[in-house]
Structure 1
Amino acid sequence: MSPMIYTLYGFAIFFFVFWCGKWLIHLLAISYGKYKLHKKVCNAPRETPLPGVSIMKPLMGTDPNLAPNLETFFTMNYPEYELLFCVEDPGDPAVDVVQNLLNKYPYIDARLFLGGSNVGVNPKINNMYPGYQAAKYGFIMISDSGIRMKDDTLLDMVNHMSDKVALVHQMPFTCDRDGFAATFEKIFFGTVQSRIYLSADFLGINCHTGMSCLLRKSVLDELGGISAFGCYLAEDFFIAKALTDRGWKMRISSQPALQNSGFCDIGSFQGRLTRWAKLRVAMVPTTILLEPLAECMIVGAFASWSVSFLFGWDSLVFYLIHILMWFLSDWILLSIVQNGSLPFNKFEFVVGWLFREISGPYLFLHALWNPAIRWRTRVYKLEWGGVAYELSAGVKTSPTTSLPPAASLCKEKS
């Protein structure tokens, strides 16, 4: 055979093996999700009392669901915790929302911190830093403003914090809301995101998102505290990496994080997806090749050509069966993550699923084409390795400007 035929055989075998690997991930996510998620919280007596937890809530702006979301933190079934609300701008409307809740629940240990600090380029860390310094408990929980808690969520997270674990995080998901945009979000987080998240947790791969996580403060302090990660926009990824590099383990909670933003539209959510893709490309460059290839429509097309070339199978029939099986496996996984009736019918799922699968590759290419990251009113540029700097009138500023000496992790990357 000619060298060209050998090359084609090599590509065909690669794509077929890659396709088989994707199906192993499907099966792993479904099996592990059924085993891991939505376990009942154990209320049996403990040999040691439950540890206190300092919960940091970085806030910016408000929406119709902010007050009810924050209120769920005041009514949790947990014996000892404090709430540390952090708002960078004293004139932010979130201040009034927090103040109303402080007046409504005067018996809850809660404080409001205004002004933030300049310890890096990451606005979330700058916002949280005063609250972090004032935290009095040995465990820190970082929770985004749009998260809604169940009564026993914090107890479930603490129960996962064993002696060898330094980080417990929740898998991102969404509350039930009305409208196609909400359906689209739930489908994404319950299929694409959950498949990767569950598989990564089982295999011990860093797939941490920091929207809701519990950390050992002593271990984080050894790393320089949260300010040591102020040069990264994806501080959650690098915190998890630093912990695991030092031999600590991380686990996901059995309860997914319930995002419940009051504003839900396709454009803003696709903007989030694009921003996350830019971060992944900067942190893990192999994403440029592997992520598009892992999409249902793309990997199915390559696999269809492979089986036609290797085995003489009908490529069109194979492709259609591939899409149908992918669709059914995503429905099964979403049902497992939801753990109850879905707020939309099967037709709405078909439309939302197809929209996600078709738009996914486009959003990724868009992220590659324009690598600058817009986060609220600010624009950032990422260097390889994940270090970020803010763009200001086209002038590059040092990614380690204003960082304390503890932030050597950033300096090593810059």
Structure 2
Amino acid sequence: MDEGSTVETETRGLLRLGLSVVGLVWYSAIWSIGLIGCRAARKRYRNRPRSPLASASPSSVPGVSILRPLKGLDTNLYENLESSFKQEYPKFELLLSVADEYDQALSVVRELLVKYPGVNARVVIGEEVVGVNPKVNNLIRPYNEAAHDILWILDSNISVAPGTLARAVDILNKPSPTSMSTPRRRIAVVHHVPFAFANQLTLGARIEEAFLNTNHAKMYIAINTLAVDSCVIGKSNLYRRSDLERVDGSLKRKRDVANDGPPGTRGLVVFGRFLAEDNMIAAAMWHELDLRHDLSCDVAKNAVGNMSFFDYVWRRVRWIRVRKHMVLAATLVEPFQECIVLSAIAAASLRYLIGVPPWLFLPVHYTLWIMVDLDVYASLAGYALPPADRWSFIAAWTIRELLALPIWLFAVLGNTVDWRGKKYEVLRHGEVKRAGDHGGSLGRWLGLGRRKSLDHHERIEQA
């Protein structure tokens, strides 16, 4: 063997060694993050104490305006809305808004208004179009009419426990302790991790349920526990209107002063240009005002509804395409933190470094991974997965893991999404514009054929 071949062999060996070490370090890091999420879920969600605000006098607690934008007869709508009427909090108003006076949701709303005459609740009819986002358009009027500074915005497919509001206000108003060096940043957003339940046992609904209640929740809780950046889903968010009126969605640091710009340049109205207005509002408070977020010990119970297999696939595609334009680096590394791709990386690394055969490593990896995911499920649900549902749940979980990489590969090639029957092109920071019907780039062509969105106010979560 000549000297050139020897050098090439040594270089190739060093490269494989380096990649194997990096792969094992990456594997350990992702496992550490997952275990942080699992431990935080155990600590946070397995103990939900009653808030003292629940039994306080109305004069001693801050008022809260609950805003619920509605459109049509969503899955479980009656129970979802009734959970707002039943909140154990002495001072709140409930504003239920629809864009159209003939909206079918109004029949459910009126029935609840009759059933709970003692609750300060009313209907707001008519939207103000300030952007492409119909949820924001539907929220503008109740947002302006709300009597209180603290706002709790809940999607129509969400139900919550009676003590949820009181516990959320506890967190929002928690004093900021000071350390020896710098004061801890004030909490500006209190949010709730979604906990899905499939009341219609279609394949897509079961896969969505398995995803949201395990891997998604685990990583969402871990990221918010580490608090390295804003990561908020808009299904159930509590924040102050006075904070929102100081941000403009630029994500550039602002002076801590009131809104001194022209009308319409700050506040809720400026987020109508985003599809993921929930994430952008939270990110704006984080980056522009240097404030922080916190999770409550309650969950947002998400009724999945009649979701087909392809509904699930297109929903994931939409998430990824929006995230690609908001957090590109995190989106690009996403496949490498999924169970199957990560196991392949670790198996190759261990085989090269210490000779562990994949057939020995992989069963251990998958067994431990699903055990952690099921533990997260138990923490959120308050009980272990029922034995009767165990194998169907594990089957749905397996399908989700197998689909993760193919869905990601398809999604990153496109920039268009279909949302509520209309096609949009996703731009920087998740802004959108209406897309033409003709195909341009390969990504746009692949984006064609998107099915109409299933949920009326389905959020585009950023995890």
Fold-level match, TM-score > 0.5? yes
Aligned to 2:189: 167
Q: Any idea what SS the aligned residue of 1:14 has? A: helix
Aligned to 1:389: 433
Aligned to 1:249: 292
Letter in 2 for 1:297: I
Match status 1:132 vs 2:143: yes
Aligned to 1:143: 154
Aligned to 2:81: 70
Looking at structure 2, the residues matched to 176 and 50 of structure 1 have their Cα atoms a distance apart, in angstroms, of 36
1:94-136 Cα offsets, whole Å, 9 max, x none, are: 1222222223323322222222111122221111111111111
Structure 2 CA distance for partners of 1:298 and 1:325, relative to 1, 3 Å: same
Which shows bigger deviation, 161-170 or 319-328? 319-328
Does structure 2 retain, via aligned residues, the 8 Å contact 1:141–1:213? yes
Match status 1:19 vs 2:27: yes
Aligned to 2:281: 239
Looking at structure 2, the residues matched to 331 and 153 of structure 1 have their Cα atoms a distance apart, in angstroms, of 24
Match status 1:368 vs 2:412: yes
Match status 1:302 vs 2:327: no
Looking at structure 2, the residues matched to 10 and 85 of structure 1 have their Cα atoms a distance apart, in angstroms, of 58
1:241-268 Cα offsets, whole Å, 9 max, x none, are: 1111222111011011101244344332
Match status 1:3 vs 2:11: yes
Match status 1:211 vs 2:215: no
Aligned to 2:244: 220
Q: Any idea what SS the aligned residue of 2:290 has? A: coil
* 1:23 positional shift: 1.0
Does structure 1 retain, via aligned residues, the 8 Å contact 2:198–2:305? no
Aligned to 1:179: 201
Looking at structure 2, the residues matched to 392 and 132 of structure 1 have their Cα atoms a distance apart, in angstroms, of 32
Q: Any idea what SS the aligned residue of 2:113 has? A: helix
* 1:271 positional shift: 2.6
* 1:341 positional shift: 4.1
Aligned to 2:323: 280
Looking at structure 2, the residues matched to 39 and 349 of structure 1 have their Cα atoms a distance apart, in angstroms, of 25
Q: Any idea what SS the aligned residue of 2:298 has? A: coil
Does structure 2 retain, via aligned residues, the 8 Å contact 1:41–1:155? no
The one of 203, 222, 240 aligned to 1:199: 222
Looking at structure 2, the residues matched to 211 and 151 of structure 1 have their Cα atoms a distance apart, in angstroms, of 17
Aligned to 1:349: 393
Match status 1:313 vs 2:336: no
Q: Any idea what SS the aligned residue of 1:253 has? A: strand
Letter in 2 for 1:122: N
Looking at structure 1, the residues matched to 75 and 275 of structure 2 have their Cα atoms a distance apart, in angstroms, of 27
1:207-243 Cα offsets, whole Å, 9 max, x none, are: 2000101011111112221112121111111111111
Structure 2 CA distance for partners of 1:264 and 1:288, relative to 1, 3 Å: closer
Does structure 2 retain, via aligned residues, the 8 Å contact 1:87–1:115? yes
* 1:155 positional shift: 1.1
Match status 1:120 vs 2:131: yes
Q: Any idea what SS the aligned residue of 2:325 has? A: helix
Aligned to 1:190: 213
Q: Any idea what SS the aligned residue of 2:245 has? A: helix
Structure 2 CA distance for partners of 1:203 and 1:129, relative to 1, 3 Å: same
Letter in 2 for 1:210: G
Looking at structure 1, the residues matched to 72 and 344 of structure 2 have their Cα atoms a distance apart, in angstroms, of 44
Q: Counterparts of 1:31-42 in structure 2 under 5 Å? A: 31-42=39-50
1:275-333 Cα offsets, whole Å, 9 max, x none, are: 11211111111134310111111111111111111222212321222122212221222
Letter in 2 for 1:231: R
* 1:337 positional shift: 1.7
Which shows bigger deviation, 337-346 or 150-159? 337-346
Does structure 2 retain, via aligned residues, the 8 Å contact 1:56–1:84? yes
Structure 2 CA distance for partners of 1:54 and 1:321, relative to 1, 3 Å: same
Tell me the C-alpha RMSD between the 2 structures: 2.2
Q: Any idea what SS the aligned residue of 2:148 has? A: coil
- Could you list the structure 1 runs, at least 4 aligned residues long, displaced by more than 4 angstroms after superposition: 45-48, 392-396
Looking at structure 2, the residues matched to 29 and 64 of structure 1 have their Cα atoms a distance apart, in angstroms, of 29
Does structure 1 retain, via aligned residues, the 8 Å contact 2:326–2:430? yes
Bigger Rg, which one: 2
1:352-408 Cα offsets, whole Å, 9 max, x none, are: 221111112122222223331111122211113322112255699xxxxxxxxxxxx
Does structure 1 retain, via aligned residues, the 8 Å contact 2:65–2:95? yes
Looking at structure 2, the residues matched to 295 and 261 of structure 1 have their Cα atoms a distance apart, in angstroms, of 23
Aligned to 1:411: none
Looking at structure 2, the residues matched to 356 and 291 of structure 1 have their Cα atoms a distance apart, in angstroms, of 14
Looking at structure 2, the residues matched to 391 and 54 of structure 1 have their Cα atoms a distance apart, in angstroms, of 36
Looking at structure 2, the residues matched to 283 and 381 of structure 1 have their Cα atoms a distance apart, in angstroms, of 14
* 1:179 positional shift: 2.1
The one of 336, 342, 350 aligned to 1:293: 336
Aligned-pair identity in percent equals: 30
Does structure 2 retain, via aligned residues, the 8 Å contact 1:305–1:315? yes
| TM-score (normalised: structure 2) | 0.80
Which shows bigger deviation, 54-63 or 250-259? 54-63
Looking at structure 2, the residues matched to 71 and 294 of structure 1 have their Cα atoms a distance apart, in angstroms, of 39
Structure 2 CA distance for partners of 1:79 and 1:281, relative to 1, 3 Å: same
Looking at structure 1, the residues matched to 102 and 111 of structure 2 have their Cα atoms a distance apart, in angstroms, of 15
* 1:57 positional shift: 0.8
1:336-355 Cα offsets, whole Å, 9 max, x none, are: 22111435432223212211
Paired residues, number: 396
Does structure 1 retain, via aligned residues, the 8 Å contact 2:81–2:159? yes
Looking at structure 2, the residues matched to 395 and 328 of structure 1 have their Cα atoms a distance apart, in angstroms, of 44
Does structure 1 retain, via aligned residues, the 8 Å contact 2:200–2:305? no
Structure 2 CA distance for partners of 1:157 and 1:316, relative to 1, 3 Å: same
